[in-house]
Amino acid sequence: MLNGTEEVIYFSARSKKGDWDIYKIARIDGLNWSSPQPLSSNINSAGDELFPVVVNGGKQLFFSSTGHFGAGGFDLYVSNWNEREQDWDTPQNLGFPYSSVHDDLLLIHSNDGL
């Protein structure tokens, strides 16, 4: 994701507790990247968070989670970047048909935005 002049990569990895959380790294210069930083508790819950996808010029984060309120299993969520807080807002469940009682893991936007 390009956020102003900052290049950021979001990814899922196991935390020290053993659950899956979303982390980010930022490019420091042409060769170096920052240490991985977990996202805040707005995104990372007591459950698992997987498959982060950033769209809309870095303004929206889509991901799957078992830890936020949902229909069951993994559900799909979106969070908007809050410029004032410099953090992601509270995630919103995408609801049916994107989230169901089954495991819903990944949302990919097409080039036409649909």
Q: Give the model confidence (pLDDT) of 12-70 as tens digits.
A: 999 999 999 999 999 998 889 999 999 999 999 999 999 999 988 899 999 999 998 88
Omega within 30 of 0 (cis) for the link into 97: yes
Question: Do strands 37-38 and 20-26 pair parallel, antiparallel, or not at all (unpaired)?
Answer: antiparallel
pTM for the model: 0.87
Structure tokens, 69: 């309120």
Position 71 confidence tier, pLDDT thresholds 50, 70, 90:
confident
Provide the residue type at 46 as one letter.
Answer: A
SS (H, E, C) the chain: CEECCEEEEEEEEECCCCCEEEEEEEECCCCCECCCEECCCCCCCCCCEEEEEEECCCCEEEEEECCCCCCCCCEEEEEEEECCCCEECCCEECCCCCCCCCCCCCCCCCCCCC
